Amino acid sequence: MVKLAEWRGKEIFRKYGIPLPPGRVVRSPEEAEAAARSGEVPLPCVVKAQVLAGGRAKGGAVRFANTPPEVRTAAAAILGLEFKGEKVRELLLEGKLAIARELYVSITLDRSLRLPILITSEQGGVEIESVPDAAIDRQPIDPFPGLAAYERRAAARSLRLSGGPAKALDGLLPALWRAFQAEDAELVEINPLAVVGDGLVALDAKVIIEDDAAFRHPEYAEIRDDRTPLEEIAREKEIAFVQLDGNIGVIANGAGLTMATLDVLKEFGGNPGVFLDLGGTDDPKKVTEAFLLMAQAKPKAVFLNIFGGVTRCDTVARGLVDAMRQVPDADRFPLVARIRGNNEKEGVEILRAAGITSVPDLKASAQAVVAAAGGPA
């Protein structure tokens, strides 16, 4: 999942013809002042931190300015701020508009319906989660005909738009739908969508691009979500790796088994901190790499819980034995292994030869690793 900063989202909106306020991105107070002086950004204007977290206005990451020196001051105040863990490196300057109403419009996927869904509300400008259900309208979209004219009219009615703004919505919704499809988005959201004079303007943009479509969107490759350095290495090696607080490392295969393992460890007072999902692999080298990565995270103990399918037990055992030879002494950790399923006998034998016992029972193996990590928390 790639979350785009507001300005990147707006670049996408621009591509599809969604109306935006006049503005530009700047990266220094000097650049901000110059943009205001040249008239490129009309005054008065709004200065917005380009961070992914919400609640920017409340958190002091959005300011208003009336003159070029004020723009510079506002920019200097926001740039470099630490906002909910993100450092502000970019600002979006936009001319302030005379807003009559603030609406909400988004398209996302409804998993249960297995259809995209158009979500609208008259109560824009606030987090949509805080809007009461009754004030939210939902319209499923069939991907074959796309968003029909009657559905667009229904949206205009539910937003109580008529005349110019209703006409503007009729043009905007197909554009938003095209952006959702063509950019492989999980979410395209305009909040607020402002009624300005006789038309509509997207004051904010939230666009989330789906990871699985990366093969046809090389343009998003350099935009990364925040990852720890180890998570980044894991990503390059195609190992699912998540680092949280906790002292037990878990290496499993498959998301469901990883989660079930976590549930069991917690039950016995364990505090799992690093999760490494091998996925489906029959390459012992990948297993070795996974273990070396795990060693770098310095867990107090590691639980290897594998159910062999595509990933066979003997493959995992070979990779593990190889890794244990390579892990530096300083990074060694107690290990509890449980390998079941395809080629279990061969795998268990390989481990036994290397002095590692596989504990077949899930409960017993989980208890053993919690004890190895220093007992229940």
Give the three-class secondary structure for 239: coil
Q: Is 29 in the site for other proteins (CB under 8 A)?
A: no
Selected catalytic residue, list 6, 33, 183, 189:
189
Q: Which of 20, 43, 62, 109 binds other proteins (CB under 8 A)?
A: 109
Number of H helices, E strands in the chain: 11, 18
Q: Is 58 in the site for other proteins (CB under 8 A)?
A: no
Q: Which stretch binds other proteins (CB under 8 A): 86-94, 101-109, 192-200, 292-300?
A: 101-109
Contact pattern for other proteins over residues 216 through 255, marking x by CB under 8 A: x---------------------------x-------xxxx
Nearer to other proteins, 59 or 199 (CB): 59
Phi-psi label, residue 372: left if phi above 0, alpha if psi -120 to 50, beta otherwise = alpha
Q: Is 213 in the site for other proteins (CB under 8 A)?
A: yes
- Token representation of residue 115: 């259809």
Report the length, in residues, of the chain.
377
Q: Which residues pair with 119 in a beta bridge?
A: 106, 138
Are β-strands 272-277 and 185-196 bridged in parallel, bridged antiparallel, or unpaired?
A: unpaired
Q: Which of 220, 324, 340, 349 binds other proteins (CB under 8 A)?
A: 340
Distance CA 238, CA 286 (A): 9
Whether 222 sits among the annotated catalytic residues: the reply is no
Q: Which of 76, 81, 117, 233 binds other proteins (CB under 8 A)?
A: 117
Distance CA 94, CA 64 (A): 10
Count of residues interacting with other proteins (CB under 8 A): 65
Nearer to other proteins, 264 or 348 (CB): 264
Q: Is 167 in the site for other proteins (CB under 8 A)?
A: no
**Which residue type is seen at 39?**
G
Q: Is 197 in the site for other proteins (CB under 8 A)?
A: no
Distance CA 322, CA 281 (A): 16
Contact at 8 Å (CB) between 289 and 297? no
CA dihedral over 60, 62, 65, 71, signed as positive or negative: positive
Nearer to other proteins, 33 or 186 (CB): 186
Least distance from other proteins to the Cβ atom of residue 133, Å:
7
Contact pattern for other proteins over residues 252 through 281, marking x by CB under 8 A: xxxxxx-xx-xxx-xx------------x-
**Which is nearest to 175 in space by CA: 17, 362, 322, 11?**
17
25-to-6, 124, 167, 183 alpha-carbon distances in Å:
10, 24, 30, 22
Contact at 8 Å (CB) between 18 and 202? yes
Least distance from other proteins to the Cβ atom of residue 87, Å:
21
Whether 16 sits among the annotated catalytic residues: the reply is no
Selected catalytic residue, list 104, 151, 186, 231:
104
**Which residue type is seen at 91?**
L
Catalytic residues: 104, 189
Q: Which residues bind other proteins (CB under 8 A)?
A: 1, 3, 54, 106, 108-112, 114-117, 119, 127-129, 131, 133, 136, 138, 142-144, 181, 184, 186-187, 189, 206, 208, 210-213, 215-216, 244, 252-257, 259-260, 262-264, 266-267, 280, 306-311, 340-342, 344, 361-363
